[in-house]
Amino acid sequence: MPVGTLASVKSLTTNQLLHLSPQSSVLSPQIILVNTYHLMLRPGVDVIEKLGGVHKFMSWDRAVLSDSGGFQVFSLAAIRKLSEDGVEFRSHIDGSAHFLSPERSIDIQQRLGVDIAMAFDECPPHGISREEAEKSMELTHRWARRSLAARNGAAASPASLPAKAAAPALFGIVQGGVFHDLRKRSVEEICAMDFDGFAIGGVAVGESKAEMLDIMNFTTPLLPREKPRYLMGVGTPEDLLNGVAAGIDMFDCVMPTRNARNGSLFTSMGKIAIKNARFAGDPRPLDANCSCITCTTVSRAYLRHLYVNDEIAALVYNTIHNVAFYLDLMRGIRQAIASNSFGSFRDFFLSRISSGDADAQQDHGAANNREQ
Amino acid sequence: MPVGTLASVKSLTTNQLLHLSPQSSVLSPQIILVNTYHLMLRPGVDVIEKLGGVHKFMSWDRAVLSDSGGFQVFSLAAIRKLSEDGVEFRSHIDGSAHFLSPERSIDIQQRLGVDIAMAFDECPPHGISREEAEKSMELTHRWARRSLAARNGAAASPASLPAKAAAPALFGIVQGGVFHDLRKRSVEEICAMDFDGFAIGGVAVGESKAEMLDIMNFTTPLLPREKPRYLMGVGTPEDLLNGVAAGIDMFDCVMPTRNARNGSLFTSMGKIAIKNARFAGDPRPLDANCSCITCTTVSRAYLRHLYVNDEIAALVYNTIHNVAFYLDLMRGIRQAIASNSFGSFRDFFLSRISSGDADAQQDHGAANNREQ
Q: Which of A11, A13, A18, A57 should be substituted to probe chain B, the one whose Cβ sees the most B Cβ atoms within 10 Å?
A: A13
Contact state of B297 with A8 under an 8 Å Cβ cutoff: no
Q: pLDDT per residue over A76-101, tens digit each?
A: 877 789 999 999 999 989 999 999 99
Give the pLDDT band (50/70/90) at residue B358. Answer: low
Burial degree of B24 (CB within 10 A; 0-12, 13-18, 19+): exposed
> Which residue is closest to A313 within chain B, CA to CA?
B11
Q: How many residues does chain B have?
A: 372
Residue B209 near residue B234, CB atoms below 8 Å: no
Give the pLDDT band (50/70/90) at residue B366. Answer: very low
Give the pLDDT band (50/70/90) at residue A1. Answer: very high
Residue at A303: amino acid letter = L
How far does CA B52 lie from the centroid of its chain? 24
> Which residue is closest to A61 within chain B, CA to CA?
B297
Lowest mean pLDDT among A165-169, A234-238, B40-44, B101-105: A165-169
A57 vs B10, B302, B316: nearest CB? B302
Q: pLDDT per residue over B11-64, tens digit each?
A: 999 999 999 998 767 789 999 999 999 999 999 999 999 999 999 999 999 999
Q: How far apart are CA B65 and CA B56, in angstroms?
A: 15
Q: How far apart are CA A254 and CA A368, in angstroms?
A: 9
**Is A124's pLDDT higher than 50?**
yes
Smallest CA–CA distance, residue A6 to chain B, in Å, is 8
Residues in chain A with CB shorter than 8 Å from the CB of B92 are none
Give the pLDDT band (50/70/90) at residue B156. Answer: confident
Phi/psi of residue A99, nearest 5 degrees: -140, 135
**Is A358's pLDDT higher than 80?**
no
Residue at B363: amino acid letter = D
More confident residue, A157 or B341: B341
Please indicate if any CB of chain A lies within 8 Å of the CB of B18. no
What is the percent of chain A where pLDDT is above 70? 93
A58 vs B58, B302, B320: nearest CB? B302
**Is A239's pLDDT higher than 80?**
yes
Please indicate if any CB of chain A lies within 8 Å of the CB of B255. no
**Is A370's pLDDT higher than 70?**
no
Catalytic residues of A: 67, 252
Contact state of A283 with B316 under an 8 Å Cβ cutoff: no
Residue A137 near residue A128, CB atoms below 8 Å: no
**Is A263's pLDDT higher than 70?**
yes
What is the rounded average pLDDT of the residues B287-313?
97
Smallest CA–CA distance, residue B334 to chain A, in Å, is 29
**Is A165's pLDDT higher than 80?**
no
Q: How far apart are CA B102 and CA A346, in angstroms?
A: 58
B299 vs A51, A294, A308: nearest CB? A51
Q: What is the mean pLDDT of chain A?
A: 93
What is residue B363's predicted lDDT score, i.e. its pLDDT?
Answer: 45
Please indicate if any CB of chain B lies within 8 Å of the CB of A289. no
Contact state of A58 with B15 under an 8 Å Cβ cutoff: no
Smallest CA–CA distance, residue B188 to chain A, in Å, is 41
Q: pLDDT per residue over B188-214, tens digit each?
A: 999 999 999 999 999 988 999 999 999
Q: Give me the DSSP letters along A90-148.
A: E-TTT--EEEE-HHHHHHHHHHHT-SEEE-----PPTT--HHHHHHHHHHHHHHHHHHH
Q: Regarding beta strands A87-90 and A97-100, do their DSSP bridges make them parallel or antiparallel, or are they unpaired?
A: antiparallel
What is residue A366's predicted lDDT score, i.e. its pLDDT?
Answer: 46
The residue among B59, B54, B18, B65 whose CA lies nearest residue B323 is: B18
> Which residue is closest to B49 within chain A, CA to CA?
A281
Smallest CA–CA distance, residue B8 to chain A, in Å, is 7
Residue A337 near residue A278, CB atoms below 8 Å: no
Q: How far apart are CA A220 and CA A186, in angstroms?
A: 12
What is the rounded average pLDDT of the residues A332-358?
91
Residue A259 near residue A227, CB atoms below 8 Å: no
- Give the burial string for B303-340 (b: 16+ CB within 10 Å, else e): bbbbbbbebbbbbbbbbbbbbbbbbbbbebbeebeeee
What is residue B303's predicted lDDT score, i.e. its pLDDT?
Answer: 98
More confident residue, A78 or B90: B90
Write out the E strands in A235-280. 250-251, 264-267, 270-273
The residue among A114, A31, A27, A101 whose CA lies nearest residue A69 is: A101
The residues that bridge with A251 in the sheet, in sequence order, are A231
- Give the burial string for B97-118 (b: 16+ CB within 10 Å, else e): ebebbbbbbbbbbbbbbbbbbb
* ipTM above threshold 0.85: yes
What is the rounded average pLDDT of the residues B58-74?
94
Q: Which of B15, B21, B57, B303 should be substituted to probe chain A, the one whose Cβ sees the most A Cβ atoms within 10 Å?
A: B15
Please indicate if any CB of chain A lies within 8 Å of the CB of B284. no
**Is A172's pLDDT higher than 70?**
yes
What is residue A363's predicted lDDT score, i.e. its pLDDT?
Answer: 45
Q: How far apart are CA A258 and CA A276, in angstroms?
A: 18
Lowest mean pLDDT among A86-95, A145-154, A355-364: A355-364
Contact state of B10 with A311 under an 8 Å Cβ cutoff: yes
What is the rounded average pLDDT of the residues A158-170?
69
Please indicate if any CB of chain B lies within 8 Å of the CB of A51. yes
Q: pLDDT per residue over B262-294, tens digit each?
A: 999 999 999 999 999 999 999 999 999 999 999
Q: What spatial distance separates the first Cα and last Cα of chain A, rounded to whole Å?
A: 15
Contact state of A59 with B297 under an 8 Å Cβ cutoff: yes
Residues in chain A with CB shorter than 8 Å from the CB of B315 are 312
Q: pLDDT per residue over A208-223, tens digit each?
A: 999 999 999 999 999 9
Contact state of B306 with A13 under an 8 Å Cβ cutoff: no
What is the rounded average pLDDT of the residues B304-310?
98
> Which of helix, strand or coil describes residue A284?
coil
Q: pLDDT per residue over A289-318, tens digit each?
A: 999 999 999 999 999 999 999 999 999 999
What is the rounded average pLDDT of the residues B325-354?
96
Residue B66 near residue B72, CB atoms below 8 Å: no
Contact state of A59 with B298 under an 8 Å Cβ cutoff: yes
Phi/psi of residue A88, nearest 5 degrees: -90, 135
Please indicate if any CB of chain A lies within 8 Å of the CB of B258. no
Q: Give me the DSSP letters along A35-91.
A: EHHHHHHTT-HHHHHHTT-HHHHHT--SEEEEE-SHHHHHHT-SSEEE-SS-EEEE-
Q: Is the dihedral of CA B50, B51, B56, B58 positive or negative?
A: negative
What is residue B364's predicted lDDT score, i.e. its pLDDT?
Answer: 43
Chain A, 187-226: which have a CB under 8 Å from a chain B CB?
A: none
C-alpha to C-alpha distances, B49 to B43, B55, B162, B325, nearest whole angstrom: 10, 10, 13, 33
Residue A23 near residue A293, CB atoms below 8 Å: no
B359 an active-site residue? no
DSSP structural state of residue B272: E
